[in-house]
Chains A and B, each alone.
Chain A
Amino acid sequence: MVGLLGVPPQVLFGQVLLGLINGSFYAILSLGLAVIFGILNVINFAHGAQYMMGAFCAWLVLNYLGVGYWWALLIAPIVVGASGILLERVFLRRVYKLDHLYGLLLTFGLTLLIEGAFRQAYGVSGQPYRIPDELQGGQNLGFMFLPNYRAWVVVAALSVCIAVWLVIEKTRLGAYLRAGTENPALVQAFGINVPVMVTLTYGFGAALAAFAGVLAAPIYQVSALMGSNLVVIVFAVVVIGGMGSIIGAVITGVGLGVIEGLTKVFYPEASSTVIFVIMAIALLIKPAGLFGKAA
């Protein structure tokens, strides 16, 4: 089978797969960011740190408690989600009435604290985390070799994204969230405890980030800085997709991951900047984002 433009098919499809995997992470992280921004109006810079904490939680429970990957997928989001709830109650709710910038600065500061603490304890070189036995190995598809674990990552991440979208768009709880995003005072006047709903939503966003972190642990090294490498790109994804749009976050995340992957094949020099170039173009054409509503 002839590749594209002289690029052998294994390389092409390998990079597309890599792009899909990265895209799935971008999607699930930008989904969390979009949900948090929608309801809290806060740009959660700590999202990368919460992703990192999820990965570290998986590593810690494996190395100190002997608890494996599948339990970690449940435990890490709960632990990090709880920490998110604490963070919201103690710090975040004080900046709601202020400009967006204060939320960004506050969560940025918290990120520095959290990453600093982990860096102090574990250094910057990553800790390895073994792919669970059930997902070792891969399938030979003819035009490429598909590692099982990587296929699982894409399926798990996208399933979670779809599930979250379904809850937000199709359920009563989702209706409360959407209404609360639009007019929180009125929703509260109807009898819903909006501050509690906001706190739980932030916790859920953090839990989503942690879930992505556990998925990432066997692929990337579990290190204190794994979040900060990712979060700037995720911001670009959210900006391009539209700050409050769930669908925008997912489609843009996956799409940009694939584009980044393809760029690595055909023009590797541009691969680290292509997303930002797209962001600049998107902002010029549609400032509210591709799927966004004008603010």
Chain B
Amino acid sequence: MALTEALADRPAPRGVAQPLLEVRDLHAFYGESHILHGMAFDVGAGEVVTLLGRNGAGKTTTIKAMLGMVGRRTGTVRFEGRDILGLPSHRVARLGIAYCPEERGIFSSLTVEENLLLPPVVKAGGMPVADIYKLFPNLVERKRSQGTKLSGGEQQMLAIGRILRTGARLLLLDEPTEGLAPVIVEQIGRIVAHLKEAGFTILLVEQNFRFASTVADRHYVVENGRVIDVIPRADLEASIDKLHRYLGV
């Protein structure tokens, strides 16, 4: 398709370093189903980039393919310049990529604190636990509660908080605002902005483009397993109608 070919041939803009994450011609399969048809996008260091699209567009599958959680995958995924597509999940994580899954993935057989401390430190420079508790004060008094006894919003905070300790610099957030009250969505927006200021690189998967528009530098619109449009932050206002059509809202 023209757009993905254009992205594939595009040289890095002058004066800009190689992107932290480069995805080219990513195909992925669940058994016989061909889910991703040549995904291609870049994430530069320190950027917040979103994959926007409807349910079933292939956004979560893209994240999972990068993490080695999907069956068959082909193409190129380069992180910090090295090919990571063939690596098993635990090796991908150890390179400094952290995952906040769509269902939050809070473990019911662990307490809140155990959940928070579970992901191992993979690089130096992770946020100390005390700072994480400062960022998410709700979690402090619920430390010893069973993880899943928290509200949806609190579980989302926990899911984000626990990956900040690991030292990973690339965060993959899959629909962090799904099913949450507007007040919590705002809170998460502030946290993402704060993380961006702190130098994290974030790949955000979202259906809610209003939330995405408040935080992201660039939006890739995903449909049927491929990128069909790229909308930089500056062009967002002008593209509202287009986005309505793409996302069927």
Interface residues of A (CB under 8 A from B): 172, 175-176, 178-179, 181-183, 185-194
CB pair A190 B110 closer than 8 Å: no
List A contacts of B93 (CB < 8 A): 188-191
Q: Does B118 contact A (CB under 8 A)?
A: yes
Cross-chain contact of A179 among B67, B107, B122, B166 (Cβ < 8 A): B107
Given contacts A182-B109, A185-B69, A190-B120, 16 further A-B contacts (CB under 8 A): A172-B117, A175-B117, A178-B109, A178-B110, A182-B107, A182-B108, A183-B105, A186-B99, A188-B90, A189-B69, A190-B98, A191-B90, A191-B93, A191-B94, A191-B120, A192-B90
| Shortest distance from the beta carbon of B75 to any chain A beta carbon, whole Å | 19
Q: Which of B101, B114, B120, B166 has the most CB of A within 10 A?
A: B114
10 contacts between A and B (CB under 8 A): A175-B118, A178-B109, A179-B107, A186-B99, A188-B90, A188-B93, A189-B67, A190-B93, A190-B98, A191-B120
Q: Bound state CA distance, A188 and B117, in angstroms?
A: 15
A interface footprint on B54-96 (CB within 8 Å = 1, 0 otherwise): 0000000000000101000000000000000000111011100
Provided the pairs A176-B118, A179-B107, A179-B118 are in contact, do residues A186 and B90 lie with their beta carbons within 8 angstroms? no
CB pair B89 A188 closer than 8 Å: yes
Closest 8 CB pairs of A and B: A191-B93, A190-B119, A178-B109, A188-B89, A179-B107, A175-B114, A186-B105, A189-B89
CB pair B99 A190 closer than 8 Å: yes
Q: Bound state CA distance, A86 and B69, in angstroms?
A: 26
The total of Cβ contacts below 8 Å across the A-B interface reads: 57
List A contacts of B69 (CB < 8 A): 185, 189
CB pair A179 B109 closer than 8 Å: yes
Interface residues of B (CB under 8 A from A): 67, 69, 88-90, 92-94, 98-99, 101, 105, 107-110, 114, 117-120, 122, 163, 166
CB pair B90 A193 closer than 8 Å: yes
| Shortest distance from the beta carbon of B69 to any chain A beta carbon, whole Å | 6
Q: Bound state CA distance, A186 and B109, in angstroms?
A: 14
List A contacts of B98 (CB < 8 A): 190
| Shortest distance from the beta carbon of B113 to any chain A beta carbon, whole Å | 10
CB pair A191 B107 closer than 8 Å: no
CB pair B105 A188 closer than 8 Å: no
Q: Bound state CA distance, A179 and B116, in angstroms?
A: 12
| Shortest distance from the beta carbon of A164 to any chain B beta carbon, whole Å | 16
Q: Which of A172, A181, A186, A188 has the most CB of B within 10 A?
A: A186
List A contacts of B94 (CB < 8 A): 191
| Shortest distance from the beta carbon of A249 to any chain B beta carbon, whole Å | 16
List B contacts of A193 (CB < 8 A): 90
| Shortest distance from the beta carbon of A181 to any chain B beta carbon, whole Å | 7
List A contacts of B118 (CB < 8 A): 175-176, 179, 187, 190
List B contacts of A183 (CB < 8 A): 105, 107
Q: Bound state CA distance, A176 and B99, in angstroms?
A: 17
Q: Which of B101, B109, B120 has the most CB of A within 10 A?
A: B109
Provided the pairs A189-B99, A192-B90 are in contact, do residues A179 and B110 lie with their beta carbons within 8 angstroms? yes
Provided the pairs A175-B114, A176-B118 are in contact, do residues A185 and B89 lie with their beta carbons within 8 angstroms? yes
